[in-house]
């Protein structure tokens, strides 16, 4: 039963939990056993207290039967270690925050608990959610990076430690690790999930995203987390779209997918280009030509200018009191950001806003655009988390994006297919993503067990 339970998707586990054929405590124990076996190889967790996990699960099992109807009843969720939790430390991936203990939960954690979730623990992040890697390894091959900055969240889902996890993306920090680790990653429309109580890096680009092993699982978690909060000015009071219900519906007509090899095609690895060419041939009846707005080539530079200026402001205190403890990469970003004028920052934001509007108009002609999620499979070594270039055009515009584990590179490692839609078109995007997964990979995504492979 333990091995069986650990392999369940979130929706499969929820069905058993609601039926009473699986207890929250039994499910937590199955996942903890799996963590105990493979965590020494994967190192996905920054903070995990098994006794606390079991206490949460026991409290849920003690509730009356009607409580089992909560959307996430008994489902363990991993949280990137930049999300505040009142019952676990949040150290933001830097020694400067060692021992940091928030007094209150982030808004998204409040929503998780209200929905009946078990907070499994805090997953490893890169340094202050930027580029310097943490300790996490790729479960498919521990000699390779899992990506970043949501390294531990993607790896924990891939390894079957949890069915669901939360990450963030300011450039490519959900989509890229999802691609490298072979799981589903969803970055919703900017402002869809409140960031109150989440580390502030770049307020104009910070998104909360989710990881799962199926598209419906990701839709379930995103729907629970979505909603406005007064503490996050990027959010707005609006109805939450029925992401899960929409995701589970068949498309009313054959989806139209914009084929977009991208302006960075020459940077994409040869085996990845070959894999996408085979995908193009298979999906030919659904593909239509797609072109970016004319000013798209300037987006990467404008995104970097704004992001680094805002990083300099967000991490000024860390730089002033402990710059010697920051990576050379982060010091460089802060120092470049400090040289950016307010005029340059505002001009770049204005150009990006115009680009986002033009991109929405182009995306309105298709159900989704199809493009690589990364330049290739996870690079060997652990000194870098890989290049986020294939995500920048979409993150800068705030459009929703999904990475689907549909392809593999010449080295056998996962290669994600990225789908992108217009802002606020999250529900249709998830429906299209589920259709594509069911069409090309009907068996879904099984968890990886590096400990078993090594044995």
Annotated catalytic residue: which of 38, 150, 151, 173? 173
Q: Take residue 15 and report the two structure tokens written for it.
A: 């069905």
Nearest to 352 by CA among 397, 400, 305: 397
Mean pLDDT, residues 83-89 taken together: 98
173 is catalytic: yes
pLDDT, residue 260, reads: 81
Q: What is residue 3's predicted lDDT score, i.e. its pLDDT? A: 52
Q: Which of 149, 153, 214, 403 is catalytic?
A: 149
The pLDDT tens digits for 42-74 are: 999 999 999 999 999 999 999 999 999 999 999
Burial class from Cβ neighbours inside 10 Å (0-12, 13-18, 19+) for residue 18 reads middle
The pLDDT of residue 1: 45
Angle at 334 between CA 329 and CA 336, to 5 degrees: 95
Average pLDDT (76-89) is 98
Helix (H, G, I), strand (E, B) or coil at 101: coil
Per-residue pLDDT, averaged over 202-223, amounts to: 98
Q: How far apart are CA 204 and CA 200, in angstroms?
A: 10
Measured between alpha carbons, how far is 7 from 4 in angstroms, rounded to an integer? 5
What's the CA angle centered on 353, arms 350 and 358, to 5 degrees? 130
pLDDT at site 241: 86
pLDDT at 232: 98
- Own/partner pairs, 450-453, CB within 8 angstroms, 24+ separation: 450/38, 450/41, 450/42, 450/137, 450/139, 450/140, 450/142, 450/159, 451/37, 451/38, 451/40, 451/41, 452/37, 452/38
Instruction: Work out the percent of the chain whose per-residue pLDDT is above 90.
Output: 95
pLDDT digit string (tens) for 325-366? Answer: 999 999 999 999 999 999 999 999 999 999 999 999 999 999
CATH classification code of 2-254+371-454: 3.90.1300.10
At 399, list the tokens: 């459009």
pLDDT for residue 103 is more than 60: yes
Joined together, the tokens standing for residue 285 give: 């009846």
- Using the structure block, give the residue that is written with the tokens 């995504």: 445
80 carries an active-site annotation: yes
Average pLDDT on 259-277 reads: 91
Q: Residue 2: which pLDDT band, with cuts at 50, 70 and 90?
A: very low
Q: Distance from CA of residue 287 to its chain's centroid?
A: 26
| Annotation marks residue 187 as catalytic | no
Pair 78, 166: CB distance under 8 Å: yes
Cα gap 425→289, rounded to integer Å? 20
Average pLDDT, the chain: 96
User: Domain extents for the chain?
Assistant: 2-254+371-454, 296-357
| Overall average pLDDT of the 390-399 stretch | 98
Model confidence, pTM: 0.98
Residue 384: helix, strand or coil by DSSP?
A: coil
Task: Supply the pLDDT for residue 297.
Answer: 86
* Structure tokens that stand for 140 in this block: 């498919």
Closest CA to 209 of 227, 197, 196, 221: 221
- End-to-end Cα distance, the chain: 21
Residue 400 has what pLDDT?
Answer: 98
Residue 79 makes CB contacts below 8 A (sequence gap 6+) with 85, 109, 119, 120, 121, 122, 123, 153, 165, 166
Distance of CA 326 to the CA centre of its chain: 24
Is the pLDDT score of 418 beyond 90? yes
In the chain, % of residues over pLDDT 70: 98
Is-contact 419 372, C-beta < 8 A?
A: no
Which long-range CB contacts under 8 A does 93-96 form with residues at least 24 apart? Answer: 93/46, 93/124, 93/125, 93/126, 93/127, 93/128, 93/129, 93/134, 93/149, 94/127, 94/128, 94/318, 94/325, 94/326, 95/325, 96/318, 96/321, 96/322, 96/325, 96/326
């Amino acid at each position: 039963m333990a091995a069986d339970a650990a392999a369940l998707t979130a929706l499969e586990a929820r069905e058993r939990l609601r039926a009473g054929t699986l207890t929250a405590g039994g499910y937590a124990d199955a996942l903890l056993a799996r963590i105990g076996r493979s965590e020494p190889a994967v190192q996905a967790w920054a903070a995990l207290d098994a006794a606390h996990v079991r206490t949460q699960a026991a409290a849920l099992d003690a509730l009356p039967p009607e409580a089992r109807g909560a959307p996430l009843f008994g489902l363990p969720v991993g949280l990137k270690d930049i999300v505040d939790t009142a019952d676990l430390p949040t150290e933001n991936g830097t020694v400067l925050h060692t021992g940091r203990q928030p007094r209150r939960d982030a808004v998204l954690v409040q929503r998780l608990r209200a929905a009946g979730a078990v907070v499994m623990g805090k997953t490893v992040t890169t340094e202050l959610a930027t580029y310097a890697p943490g300790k996490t390894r790729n479960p498919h091959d521990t000699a390779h990076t899992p990506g970043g900055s949501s390294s531990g969240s993607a790896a924990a889902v891939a390894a079957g430690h949890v069915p669901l996890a939360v990450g963030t993306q300011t450039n490519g920090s959900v989509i890229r690790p999802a691609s490298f680790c072979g799981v589903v990653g969803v970055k919703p429309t900017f402002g869809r999930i409140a960031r109150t109580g989440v580390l502030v890096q770049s307020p104009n680009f910070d998104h909360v995203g989710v990881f799962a092993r199926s598209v419906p699982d990701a839709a379930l978690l995103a729907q629970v987390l979505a909603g406005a909060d007064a503490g996050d000015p990027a959010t707005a009071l609006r109805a939450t779209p029925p992401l899960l219900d929409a995701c589970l519906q068949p498309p009313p007509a054959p989806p139209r997918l914009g084929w977009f090899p991208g302006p960075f095609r020459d940077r994409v690895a040869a085996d990845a280009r070959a894999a996408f060419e085979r995908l193009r041939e298979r999906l030919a009846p659904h593909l239509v030509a797609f072109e970016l707005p004319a000013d798209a080539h300037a987006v990467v530079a404008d995104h970097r200018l704004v992001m680094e200026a805002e990083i300099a402001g967000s991490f000024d205190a860390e730089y002033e009191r402990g710059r010697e403890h920051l990576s050379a990469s982060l010091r460089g970003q802060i120092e470049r950001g400090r040289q950016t004028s307010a005029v340059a920052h505002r001009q770049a934001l204005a150009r990006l806003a115009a680009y986002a509007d033009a991109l929405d108009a182009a995306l309105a002609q298709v159900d989704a655009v199809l493009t690589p999620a990364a330049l290739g499979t996870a690079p060997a070594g652990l000194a870098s988390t890989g290049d986020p270039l294939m995500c920048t055009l979409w993150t800068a515009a705030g459009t929703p994006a999904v990475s689907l584990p549909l392809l593999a590179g010449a080295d056998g490692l996962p290669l994600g297919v990225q789908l992108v839609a217009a802002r606020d078109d999250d529900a249709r995007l998830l429906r299209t993503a589920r259709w594509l997964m069911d069409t090309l990979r009907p068996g879904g995504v099984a968890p990886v067990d590096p400990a078993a492979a090594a044995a």
